Amino acid sequence: MYCFRPVISTGISPYPSKELNLMSTTATLKRLGQYLLKYPVRLILVFLLTLMAAGLTLLGPYLTGAALDRYIIPGRYEGFLELCILLIAVAILSSLVSWLQSIILAEVSQRTVWSLRRDLFQHLQQLPIPFFAGKSHGELMSRTTNDIDNVSNTLNQSLVQLISSVIMLIGSLTMMLFLNIWLTLIALVTAPLITFFAKWISRRTQVQFKGQQQELGQMNGFIEETVSGHKVVHLFHQESRIAAEFNETNERLKKVGIRAQIFSGVMGPFMNLFGHTTYLLIAAVGGWLAVRDLTTVGIIVSFLGYSRQFSGPLNEVANQYNMIQAGVAGAERVFEILDIPSEYEDEASLGHLKPITGKVEFKGVSFQYDTGKEILKEITFTANPGETIALVGPTGAGKTTIVNLLGRFFEINEGSILIDGTDISTVSKNSLRAQLSIVLQDAHLFSGTIRDNIRYGRLEATDEEVEEAAVQAHAHLFISRLAQGYLTELSAEGGNISQGQRQLITIARAILADRALLILDEATSSVDTLAEIQIQKAIKQVIAGRTSFIIAHRLSTIRHADTILVIKDGQIVEQGNHEELLLREGLYYELHGSGKGFEEEEESGKMDELELLPPSYVK
């Protein structure tokens, strides 16, 4: 389970660093509005209920004033009971309406956020590889969690608050004007002060909160790193240094946290002070007017109620300002991702790659990443169906890039790549990749059972087929020795099985997928001898009968390849089989002699060892 809030680990603050650009804010709100408008009936209902709740709230002070003027002061109690019942009914109805409104609103906002989250996740799955290369996982996670959270909070709280605040502002102002114009002017005197002060405080509070989020981000990033790298920490006895470093961050977070709370805590009491002053002013002037018979006590009481209802929304809007900003910033960051063209866009017109035999031709392929530096130059070679092509060469030579181009994870700049004579740029990526299996060096497994992980290669495979693939991948033996067998739960971090075993599972996955083309990035990490033998056997099995491209590090793999491509600085400097290349006495010969280019392991000894194992062990 992911324990850290990714937004925190990347130090991304939900509080926007600068005032949002008005144009982009309007555009973002419009788009968010489109999501909301998917539920028009509920939305109209929420609006009507908000209107009703505000109307009922506005009725309260009027009725209280009327009770005073008509019944209490003249001492006439006929009809007073009815008025009291009406007041109670208004209060009950008002609560009921607010309750209904919050239920419907919760549904609308949750549905909106649900569809936003769904769209974002689906879109993320379809984004091209280069997009991910430039983003940290934490940042992407933060867009699907924290940014969406901010949108959700804004929709849940600020939206209705804003609507009802506006209604209350207009409503109470109208009522005040209706009751007494002079008292209204007094009430309005403090309004600009309140607005100004609220903005002043909220700006300062925001800076503190931003600082708090940043410190929190750093601290969590630190925790995340030390937890995931705890082995290294222990190994190098860094525990006390780490603890001291943590204390420093923790201290900074405490200080900024206290400042943030002090600033935000100032808002309430000061707003109260303004409120009480206005209240006092109105009461005093109102009393003076009443004494001179220029108004009635009832009107003053009603008026005091409305003045409260008028200043309340002003505070509210000021308080909601931060949240609305965070929500809009969150939505903006979500839409930013949704606007990146998906990998499969503009593919509708492309053809479908028919089932292939596996002939692959690279013809004068040149390629550069966004950096503009030419990485591959004039790569030309042919792989016939069923052949094994080993790619060898120094690190950074361009081996991974070549195999990435085969799956069209990047687009080439020059030349062409043909599969069974079809240019791969003329067929859809989906149909191309459906013919391709990839076994990566850092065997990636998902949380779930071993069976599910193997089945990832072909979802409709039966349990028997999964086991058969595991047998062929030499994984069956270790799996059946586990207490839960194929039902053993794996963690994404893979703490419960070894590196070699993970590799075998990914090979089983590729065998099950049974594609005509295979790309295999041989692991360089050293696994124990027995696992090494198993992996070699499994590789032999998986490459049999399919055109395979192996980024090879082991001599045993390279020797058996039909063609070895020796890559250096993005060019094929030599190609041929093991014997031919040795005879040539070029780079391959050098690498072979020095053992620098690949691991100098003679397989014979190990293979002999393997033969000695009981048949049930090697399967």
Ligand X SMILES: Nc1ncnc2c1ncn2[C@@H]1O[C@H](COP(=O)(O)OP(=O)(O)OP(=O)(O)O)[C@@H](O)[C@H]1O
Binding region for ligand X (CB under 6 A): 133, 369, 371, 375, 393, 395-401
Could you give the C-alpha distances from 202 to 271, 318, 474, in angstroms and in order? 12, 7, 64
Partner residues linked to 498 by β-bridges: none
CB-wise, 318 or 397, nearer to ligand X? 397
Task: Select from 405, 410, 427, 411 the least CA-distant residue to 361.
Answer: 405
Q: How far is the CB of 513 from ligand X (least distance, A)?
A: 23
CA distances from 58 to 173, 191, 195, 280 (A): 10, 19, 22, 21
As a whole number of Å, the end-to-end CA separation of the chain is 35
Distance in Å, CB of 381 to ligand X, minimum = 15
State the Cα–Cα distance between residues 209 and 256, nearest whole angstrom: 8
CA dihedral 323, 325, 330, 333 (to 10 degrees): -170
Q: What are phi and psi of 353, to 5 degrees?
A: -80, 120
497 conformational bin, left if phi > 0, alpha if psi -120 to 50, beta if neither: beta
Closest separation in Å from C-beta 566 to ligand X: 11
Give me the least distance between CB of 523 and ligand X, in Å please. 12
Sorted by sequence, the CB contacts under 8 Å of residue 462 that are 6+ apart come out as none
Minimal distance, residue 28 CB to ligand X, in Å:
30
Give the nearer residue to ligand X in terms of CB position, either 394 or 586.
Answer: 394
**Structure tokens of 277?**
């002053």
Which of 385, 423, 362 has its CA nearest to residue 548? 385
Burial classification of residue 365, based on how many CB atoms lie within 10 Å of its CB (0-12 exposed, 13-18 middle, 19 or more buried):
buried
Query: How far is residue 577 from each of residues 554, 567, 600, measured CA to CA in Å?
Result: 15, 14, 17
Smallest distance from ligand X to CB 470, Å: 28
Question: Of 128 and 138, which has the nearer Cβ to ligand X?
Answer: 128
Minimum CB separation from ligand X for residue 593, in Å?
Answer: 19
Which H or E element spans position 414? strand 414-419
- Least Cβ distance, residue 441 to ligand X (angstroms): 8
Closest to ligand X by CB, 136 vs 491, is 136
Nearer to ligand X, 467 or 522 (CB): 522
What is the distance between the alpha carbons of residues 115 and 107, in angstroms, rounded to a whole number? Answer: 12
Q: Are 552 and 577 in contact (CB under 8 A)?
A: no
Cβ of residue 132: shortest distance to ligand X, in angstroms? 9
Taking the complex as a whole, the smallest distance from the CB of residue 474 to ligand X amounts, in Å, to 25
Nearest approach, Cβ of residue 374 and ligand X (Å)? 10
Q: Identify which of 52, 64, 84 has the alpha carbon closest to the alpha carbon of residue 305.
A: 64
Using the minimum distance from each CB to ligand X, give the nearer residue, 369 or 617: 369
Nearer to ligand X, 370 or 460 (CB): 370
CB nearer to ligand X: pick between 200 and 369:
369
Residue recorded with tokens 């009809």? 79
Q: CB nearer to ligand X: give 595 or 605.
A: 595
Scan for tokens 């395979």, then name that residue: 548
Could you give the angle at the alpha carbon of 210 between the alpha carbons of 20 and 11, nearest 5°? Answer: 100
* Nearer to ligand X (CB atom), residue 133 or residue 294: 133
Q: What letters, b where the CB count within 10 A reaches 16 and e where it falls short, cover 131-152? A: eeeeeeebbbbbbbebbbbbbb
Q: Which is nearer to ligand X, 301 or 405 (CB)?
A: 405
- Collapse the DSSP code of 5 into the 3-class scheme (helix H, G, I; strand E, B; otherwise coil) and give the result: coil
3-state secondary structure of 347: coil
CB nearer ligand X, residue 255 or residue 596: 596
Contacts with 428 (C-beta within 8 Å, 6 or more apart), sequence order: 344, 347, 350, 351, 352, 353
The answer to whether the CB of 309 falls within 8 A of the CB of 54 is no
Nearer to ligand X, 240 or 371 (CB): 371
CB 155 to ligand X: min, Å: 37
Least distance between ligand X and beta carbon 234 (Å): 29
Pairing relationship of beta strands 517-521 and 436-439 according to DSSP bridges: parallel
For the beta carbon of residue 229, count every other beta carbon within 10 angstroms. 13
CB 133 to ligand X: min, Å: 4
Q: What is the 3-state secondary structure (H, E, C) of 75-103?
A: CCCCCHHHHHHHHHHHHHHHHHHHHHHHH
Residue 570 to residue 368: CA distance in whole angstroms: 10
Of the two residues 369 and 446, which places its CB atom closer to ligand X in the complex?
369
Closest CB to ligand X among residues 153, 556: 556
> Shortest distance, CB of residue 404 to ligand X, whole angstroms?
7
Roughly what angle, to the nearest 10 degrees, separates helices 80-125 and 297-338?
10
